[in-house]
Every structure is written in C-alpha cells, then in structure tokens.
Amino acid sequence: MTQYKYLLTEKDMPTHWYNIVADMETPPPPYRHPATLELLGPDDLAPVFPQALIEQEVSAERWIEIPEEVQDVLKMWRPAPLYRAHRWEKQLDTPARIYYKWEGVSPPGSHKPNTAIAQCYYARQEGLEGFATETGAGQWGSALSFATQFFGLKCKVFMVTISYHQKPYRRVMMETWGGSVVPSPSSETNAGRVILAQDPETTGSLGIAISEAIEYAVTHDGWKYSLGSVVNFVLLHQTVIGLEAKKQMEMAGDYPDIVIGCAGGGSNAAGLIYPFMQDKLTGTKPNLRAMFVESSACPSMTRGQYAYDWGDTAKTGPVTKMHTVGHGFIPAPVHAGGLRYHGMAPTICHLLSNEQAEARAYHQIEIFDAAHSFARAEGFIVAPETAHAIKAVYDEAMACKEAGEDKVILFNASGHGHFDLSAYDAYHGKDLLDYELEEDRLERALEDLPEIAE
Ligand SMILES: Cc1ncc(COP(=O)(O)O)c(C=O)c1O
C-alpha cells in the first residue's frame, strides 16, 4: 500500500537540540563589537538578549536539553508530519523520491514558533516584561506574538513597511495574540526617524527594523530583543525539525541524497539540514548535499561577499562574518519578505566557505511557477519563501529525470501561504515583476563594510 505521510507520536519528540558547532572542525569566526570592532564577549550581549540564550549562542555542547515546559507547548502542533510527494513526483514524471517536512501546521503557520516558544521561556525565567522584535512578511512577528502569551510577556513588533501594507491580515493576527505592531521605519525610534528623514517613502528593510527593535529593547526597562533567525541559538531551536525528520525518513526506509531549504537568515533550512549534516561532518554520509535557496532580489550567498558586516542598518547589533549584500542594502519589494535580509547565519556561511554546502538563488516568477505545480499536486499553498525551496526541488527532480537517477530529495516546507494570497493573485494577473539586481548597486551596498584584520 502506498504510504503518503510519516507520523510520530509526542513520545518520539526530541528532548535535546542539536548544536552543529560541536561537529565543525573549526568554529565560525567570533562576533565583533558593533562600535569598537573588538572581539565581543557574552557581557556585551547582556543588554540585548536573555542570559540563557547568550550561553546557548556561545555553547560548544553537542546536545542541549529542551526544557519540559517548552516541549509541552511545542506539543500543541508537534511532531510535524513528513510527507512523501507521490502525486507531485508523478506529475513531474521524475524517478526522484521527494519528501517534505510540513511546518505549516503550527498555529501561526510556519516553523518560527519553534524558537519563539523557547526564547519566551527563557525570557520569563529571567523575569522580563516584554520582547521587541522585527518582522518581514509577518511570520516571525506572528510567532512571537503567539508565543509571548504563554509566558505572560508583552510583544512589540516593528514590521517592514512594504509587508505591513502587503499583508494586513498578518498584523491582525499579531494583534489577536496581543502583539503591538508598527510599520518600520517608524517615528518611535531614533533609527527609524533618521531613515524617514532621508527617505519618507522608503519601503523599509529587515536591517532597519532590527535596529528599531534593538533600540526599543535597550531603552525600555525589563525589555529585551528577540531575533527570529541568523544567530546560533535560533538555528539550534529549529533542529527539532531535522531531528523529527530523521526518524521519519527512517520509518520511510530512505535517507536523503539532497536536503533543501529556503534561506532568509537560514533558520528553517538549518533546522532541517543540520541534524543530517551531522552525518556528513562525522563522515557517515560524506556525499550528502545540503542546499540553501535564496531570493535573487537579496542574493547574499550567491553574489554577496563573505566578510564581516553589521547585522543591522544602524550598526547597533553584533558584527559577524557572513555572506552579505551590505547592511544598508534595501532589496526590491519581492513578496518573499522573509528572504529580504542582507546577511546569513554565520554557521551556514562557514559551511558554504568550507564547500560543505551549496547555495542557489531564484527570481519570484519562477518560484511561483513551482509553487503552483506543487499546490496542484500536493494541495498545500505555501509561503513565497518556501516556494524558493520548491523551485530548487523542482530543478533537482527534473535533473534526475534527465539523468534517469532516482535520488532522494528532502525539503522543508517552512510555512503556508494563506496570508500571501495577494502575491498569488498578482501572479495569476501576470502583475508580478522579476527584479534584476544591477552589479553597481550591489557594489555600492558593499562599500561600507567594516575593516577587520583576521
Ligand atoms: C515561511 C517562511 N519560510 C522561511 C523564512 C525565512 O527565514 P529563515 O531563513 O530564518 O527560515 C521565513 C521568514 O520570515 C518564513 O516566514
């Protein structure tokens, strides 16, 4: 009998997160202070992040225990199902075997609450009053608004202006869960006011919204900043995805040749990929391919520089070595708001620079072509961010067809697109644009990187 999905029970859920740094030959380069550019110590991060998260950020422990209370809230929707895309394989007429982990089952609709819940747990432990954060497409802001309620915290969200207007229902969702949302840049912070004075019509960027959220957090007593991607502790919390998927692939009697995820800051992709990557790093699966897929409108991994850069536009966050298109870069207003971040998770960049992983970029019309092909076979209407992973899977499945190879492809379906239907509507009306990023614009954006001798 054909099996379509692989389900775990609550008893099978991971009890520990996996920290990939423990299995890297060398750790990624350390963070630098945003003002002095000297090495950053854990104390420098104390005004910004809860202490327990700072400890996780610098931890070299391979396994970190998931507190029971965090596991309990995750049980609201986890373990998440793993599907075999039989119908899509048939439609594509490919010999490839395609599997996907479906993270759209969480109440906010994506993988993001996997870390939001953990962060709120530690914030409450520290006695905080609230978390300030940024959001692009609104998935992260929704996840944090959702999570704060379970731990009695307040939530302030700076939402990139373009998405604030493109996705009004995401704002309503955040407000339903008690979050307070403002478009960014806003007049509530110095960082926002400076940008608005330069360009009152700006569509905003994640880099600006991060600056506003950090400023809000450090200028309000009892508040700290919550980040939804990029840093080690976020990627760590997301490994529940891959740890579950490994068990489910075992149930299916398969092991992936290629693992794929879309990457904005890299958290959902790393969440799925890293537990499999452990097998590559420790030598049991040396040929495993790990693929991170970005937007051509914000091509940090495929066209950016691997260099030290600030994590935010106002240069208040840590400086880190990463693939970047420059902290001041404002990407074209593509619908995949969550892929409009100028940098990338340092651990992913480290793997890329060691040629242990690969990266790819796609334009928005082709990713919507792929999302439609997937929706018509598998039913799920995915977020535009997720559609980038789907396009890569599509290309790999077609390559298998051409070569007559039956590779096993696993990808992370990071979220549903139910609040992105205006983007689908634009695609149907042939109103979507592809944005070609000119080389000189990219060069200008990369002019203001810090100079750090290594
Ligand atoms: C559904 C979905 N997938 C992917 C992303 C990209 O973020 P990350 O690379 O951290 O997973 C986002 C970000 O908003 C998202 O909402």
Cβ(340)–Cβ(262) below 8 Å: no
Residue nearest to atom 16 of ligand 1 (CA): 139
Does the bond joining 14 to the residue before it have cis omega, within 30 degrees of 0? Answer: no
pLDDT-above-70 percentage for the chain: 100
Q: How confident is the model at residue 238 (pLDDT cuts 50, 70, 90)?
A: very high
Q: From atom 6 of ligand 1, which residue's Cα is the shortest distance away?
A: 264
Q: How many whole angstroms from 112 Cα to the centroid of ligand 1?
A: 7
- Quick check: 108 pLDDT over 80? yes
What integer pLDDT is reported at residue 337 of this predicted model? Answer: 84
CB 365 within 8 A of CB 352: no
Position in ligand 1 atom list of the atom nearest CA 228: 10
Query: Could you give the maximum distance between any two Cα atoms of the chain, in Å?
Result: 64
453 pLDDT more than 90: no
pLDDT at 166 over 90: no
Q: Is the pLDDT of residue 288 over 90?
A: yes
What was the pLDDT predicted at 227?
A: 96
Residue 201 pLDDT level (bands cut at 50, 70, 90)? very high
In the predicted model, is pLDDT for residue 29 greater than 80?
Answer: yes
What is the pLDDT averaged over residues 186-200? 96
pLDDT score recorded for residue 240: 99
The residue whose CB lies within 8 Å of the most ligand 1 atoms, and thus the one to mutate among 102, 106, 112, is 112
Q: What confidence tens digit (pLDDT) does each residue in 327-357 have?
A: 999 899 888 888 999 999 999 999 999 999 9
Q: How far is the CA of 239 from the centre of ligand 1 (A)?
A: 14
For residue 102, which amino acid is it? W
Pocket-forming residues, ligand 1, beta carbon under 6 Å = 110, 136-137, 139-140, 229, 262-269, 338-339, 383, 385-386, 414-415
- State the Cα–Cα distance between residues 162 and 335, nearest whole angstrom: 9
Domains and CATH numbers, the chain: 5-11+75-109+233-440 (3.40.50.1100), 113-227 (3.40.50.1100)
Q: Which atom of ligand 1 is nearest to the CA of 337?
A: 14
pLDDT of residue 32: 97
Q: Give residue 274's pLDDT band: very low, low, confident or very high (50, 70, 90).
A: very high
pLDDT, one tens digit per residue, over 374-404 is: 999 999 999 999 999 999 999 999 999 999 9
pLDDT higher than 90, residue 42: no
Q: What is the pLDDT of residues 49-59, one digit of tens each?
A: 999 999 999 99
Rounded Cα distance, 227 and 45, in Å: 13
Instruction: Report the separation in Å between the CA atom of 414 and the middle of ligand 1, taken as the mean of its atom positions.
Output: 7
Task: Give the number of the atom of ligand 1 that is nearest the alpha carbon of residue 268.
Answer: 11
What's the pLDDT score for residue 20?
98
Strand partners of residue 139? none
State the pLDDT at residue 268. 98
State residue 407's pLDDT score: 98
CA distances from 218 to 213, 233, 412 (A): 9, 20, 34
236 CA distance to ligand 1 middle (Å): 15
What is the pLDDT averaged over residues 404-432? Answer: 97
What is the pLDDT at residue 333?
86
Give pLDDT, residue 283.
Answer: 97
Average pLDDT of the residues of the chain: 96
Q: Report the pLDDT value the prediction gives residue 182, as an integer from 0 to 100.
A: 97
Q: Which pLDDT score, from 0 to 100, does residue 379 have?
A: 98
> Ligand 1 centre and the CA of 2: distance in Å?
31
| Confidence (pTM) | 0.97
Query: Would you state the pLDDT for residue 206?
Result: 87
pLDDT(454) > 80: no
Q: pLDDT at position 231, please?
A: 96
CA of 106 from ligand 1 middle (Å) equals: 14
pLDDT of residue 352: 98
Among protein residues, the one whose CA lies closest to atom 4 of ligand 1: 385
**CA nearest 265: which of 313, 316, 308, 231?**
231
